[in-house]
Amino acid sequence: MAYASVSSAFLMKLFSKHLDKRSEKTLIDMPVLYEFADKRPLPGKSGSTMFVPRHIARNGITALTEFSIVTPSGTSAHYYSGTVAGYGDAKKYSDFLVSIAEVPTMISDDINAMTQYAANKVDSLIITQLCGAGTWVSPDGATPNTDVIETTALKQRFLFDARATLGSKNAPKYSDGYYWAAITPEGNHDLFVNTSAGNELGSHLYRTDVGASKLQRATIGVLGGVRVLETTNFTKLANGAGGISEGANSGYQGFVMGPGAVAAVDLTTARLKSFIKNFGQAGIYDPIDQVMTAGIKFYFCSIAMDTSNRLVRTAYGSTI
Q: Are 234 and 252 in contact (CB under 8 A)?
A: yes
Q: For residue 197, is pLDDT > 60?
A: no
pLDDT exceeds cutoff 70 at 212: no
- CA distances from residue 15 to 68, 91, 103 in whole angstroms, order as listed: 70, 16, 12
What residues have CB less than 8 Å from 49, skipping those under 6 apart?
A: 81, 82, 83, 84
How would residue 200 be classed by pLDDT, with cut points 50, 70 and 90? low
- The stretch 57-72 carries a mean pLDDT of 77
Per DSSP, the three-state class of 283 is: helix
CB burial of 117-146 (b: ≥16 within 10 Å; e: otherwise) equals ebbebbbebbbebbbebbbbbbbbeebeee
CATH class of residue range 1-55+74-320: alpha beta
Residue 169 burial class via C-beta count within 10 angstroms: exposed 0-12, middle 13-18, buried 19 and up:
middle
The SS3 call for residue 91 is strand
Pairing of strands 311-316, 252-257: antiparallel
How far is Cα 225 from Cα 284, in angstroms, rounded to an integer? Answer: 63
Give the Cα separation of 95 and 236 in Å (integer).
41
Cβ atoms 239, 192 nearer than 8 A: no
Q: Which residues does 132 contact at the CB level (< 8 Å), separation at least 6?
A: 242
| Predicted confidence band of residue 290 (pLDDT cuts 50, 70, 90) | confident
Q: What is the pLDDT of residue 180?
A: 94
Kindly give the pairing relationship between strand 85-94 and strand 291-300: antiparallel
- Averaged pLDDT, 102-120: 86
Q: Contact at 8 Å (CB) between 204 and 228?
A: no
Q: What is the pLDDT of residues 118-140, one digit of tens each?
A: 998 998 899 888 887 888 899 88
More confident residue, 258 or 268: 258
Among 141, 234, 145, 144, which Cα is nearest to 181's?
A: 234
What's the pLDDT score for residue 3?
40
In the chain, what is the straight-line distance between the N-terminal and C-terminal CA atoms, in Å?
62
Query: Considering the chain, what is the average pLDDT of its residues?
Result: 80
CB burial readout 205-218, b (16+ within 10 A) else e: ebeeeeeeeebeeb
The pLDDT of residue 248 is 45
pLDDT > 70 fraction of the chain, expressed in percent and rounded: 77
